[in-house]
């Protein structure tokens, strides 16, 4: 006879407990409403920066990108309602509402007038070029006279 009775839900509780990093209390991936924020990669090369935001199931029109005093803000509000047909009854109906806002402070070396963005295959790409004077210059040989 067993003293401890396990329910069929016990393994899933343990799985959920250990699938998150218990020591990460920074809330970096959650908004104020406890919804997940889109993941972001930021790349830099000699010509500029590229921000990649993973946002599958979004449309290009769902995004809003603003630049205000070297602060780049990418945000979205998405509301989905399921249509009900005439004569249809339901006991539960859930609305889907999703919003997020991510902000990035840009360095002074960027060419803010030339920032471009495109959305393709679930990834929002924002290209932020550097000013010409900020780009590395090739080594120049100085002639000795």
- pLDDT, tens digit (0-9, with 9 covering 90-100), for 80-126: 665 556 677 666 666 556 788 999 999 999 999 999 999 999 999 99
Rg, the chain, Cα only: 24
- Of residues 42 and 33, which shows the higher confidence score? 42
What are the residues facing 42 on neighbouring strands? 51
pLDDT score for 21: 47
pLDDT score for 140: 87
The pLDDT > 90 percentage for the chain reads 38
CA gap 58, 122 in Å, rounded: 7
Mean pLDDT, residues 41-47: 92
DSSP-assigned letters across all residues of 10-63: HHHHHHHHHHS-TT--S-TTB-TTSPBPPPEEEEE-SSEEEEEEE-TT--GGGE
For residue range 21-39, what is the model confidence (pLDDT) as tens digits?
444 444 444 444 445 688 9
CA angle 125, 127, 132 (to 5 degrees): 170
CA gap 58, 54 in Å, rounded: 10
What are the residues facing 69 on neighbouring strands? none
- pTM of this structure: 0.63
Does the pLDDT of residue 64 top 90, yes or no? yes
CA gap 28, 19 in Å, rounded: 16
Domains with residue ranges and CATH for the chain = 30-83+91-134 (2.60.40.790)
User: Residue 50's closest CA among 121, 132, 109, 127?
Assistant: 127
pLDDT band of residue 58 (cuts 50, 70, 90) is confident
């Amino acid at each position: 006879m067993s003293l401890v009775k396990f329910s069929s839900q016990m393994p899933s509780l343990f799985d959920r407990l250990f699938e998150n990093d218990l020591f990460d209390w920074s809330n970096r991936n959650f908004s104020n409403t406890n919804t997940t924020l889109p993941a972001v990669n930021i790349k830099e090369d000699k010509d500029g920066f590229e921000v990649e935001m993973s946002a599958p199931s979004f449309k290009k029109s769902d995004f809003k990108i603003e630049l205000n005093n070297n602060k780049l803000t990418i945000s979205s509000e998405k509301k989905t309602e399921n249509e009900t047909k005439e004569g249809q009854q339901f006991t539960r109906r859930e609305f889907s509402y999703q919003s997020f806002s991510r902000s990035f402070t840009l360095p002074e070396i960027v060419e803010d007038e030339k920032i471009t963005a495109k959305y393709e295959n679930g990834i929002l790409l924002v290209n932020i070029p550097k000013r010409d004077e900020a780009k590395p210059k090739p080594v120049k040989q100085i002639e000795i006279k």
